Chains A and B, each alone.
Chain A
Amino acid sequence: MARPFLGAFEQLVLAALVRLHKDAYGMAVRQEIAERTGRDIAIGAVYATLDRLEQKGFVVSRTGESTPERGGKAKRYFDLTAAGEQALRDSVGQLQRMVKGLKLGWTS
C-alpha cells in the first residue's frame, strides 16, 4: 500500500502535537501554530485536520476534563501515534531533501 502523504497544514498540526506533548487539544494546537507561524487559524479547521489525521491513524483522541471556563464542556486531547510520528518524520525529510543546497533569492 502506498505511504500516505501529509498536507502542509497537517504537518503543522502534527508538529504542534509533538511540541504540546500530552497537553494537545484544539485551542492549544491553534495557539501553538499562531505563535510560531503567525497564521490565524479557525478552530474548525484545526478540528477538521485532527479528524482527518485520526481517520488516517496518525493521531488518537481522548476525553479530558471540563472546566467552568469552558462552560462545563470537556476537552478533547490528541496524541500522536507511532504511524503519525513516522509520517511527520518522512514529510520533514522530504522537504529537507528538496531544499538541500538551495540558496535564498533563487528566483531573482
Chain B
Amino acid sequence: MDLMNSPRLARGILRLFLPRETRDAVTGDLEEGFARAASPRAWYWKQVMRSIAPSIGMRWRSPGVLRIGVAAVLSYLVLAACVIGLEAAISPFVDAPTLPYILLNLLVGTIGAISAGSVIAVMVPMAPMKAVKIFAGFLGVMALISFAVEFGRAPLWYQIVLLCLGPSAAYLGGRLTSGRRIASGA
C-alpha cells in the first residue's frame, strides 16, 4: 500500500506534534503498520491520536521552541515581579525619578535578571546556555524597545546601562546555575 493511501490529515496532525528529529522515523513506522493492519485507516488514526500526548512529552524534553518559550516567559515574569515588587516597596520612601531611585531600580533589575537567567537554566537543563543566550537576546531586544520608547524621558546613561546590564546579568545567572548543576552532578 503506498503513501498516498494512508490518511494525510492524520499524518499531518502527528507531524505537528512530533519533534523534528523523530518525524520521519515515526511516520515511516506508521506506514509499515498501515500496510499490514486489518483495518488500516482506523488503525492509523488510533495510533496518531494515542501518540499525540507522548509526542508533546518528547518535545517538552528537548531544548526546542516549546520548552525554551515557556521557560523564557516564566523567567521574564520573575524579572517583572522583582522590578514591580521594588517599585511598590520603595516608592513610599524614594521619589522617582531621582538618582537613588534609578540606582535602586538598576540594582533590583540586575538581581531580577540574574534570577531570571537562573530560572531558565533550571527549566532547560538539557541545553541551559542555549536557552540563557536566547533569553539574554530577548532581554536585549526588550531593552532596545524601551530605549526607543523612553528616549528623552529617561536619562541616556540609564538606558545604555540597562541595555548592557540586563542581558549580561541574565547570562551570568544562567552561567552560575548551570555551572553549579554540572559541579553537583545534577
Q: Is A52's CB under 8 angstroms from B61's CB?
A: yes
Q: Say yes or no: B31 contacts A44, CB within 8 Å.
A: no
> Which A residues between 21 and 56 are near B, CB-CB below 8 angstroms?
25-27, 30, 42-45, 47-48, 51-52, 55
Minimal Cβ-Cβ distance residue in B for A26:
B29
Please report the C-alpha to C-alpha distance between residue A55 and residue B54 in the assembled complex, in whole angstroms. Answer: 15
Report whether B25 and A75 are in contact in the complex, using a CB–CB cutoff of 8 Å.
yes
Interface residues on A, range: 20 to 34
Contact B55 A44 (CB under 8 A): yes
- Please report the total number of B residues contacting A with Cβ < 8 Å: 31
Cross-chain pairs A/B with CB under 8 angstroms, 21 sampled:
A1-B185, A26-B29, A27-B32, A43-B30, A43-B33, A43-B47, A44-B26, A44-B50, A44-B54, A45-B54, A47-B58, A48-B55, A51-B22, A69-B35, A70-B31, A71-B2, A71-B31, A72-B28, A74-B24, A74-B25, A74-B28
Count of CB-CB pairs between chains A and B under 8 Å: 84
Q: Separation in Å of the A22 CB from the closest CB of chain B? A: 16
A55→B50 contact, CB < 8 A: no
CB-contacts of B42-71 with A (<8 A): 47, 50-55, 57-58, 61-62
Q: Contacts A1-B185, A42-B47, A43-B47 known; A70 to B55 CB distance under 8 Å?
A: no
* Chain B positions within 8 Å of A68 at CB level: 2
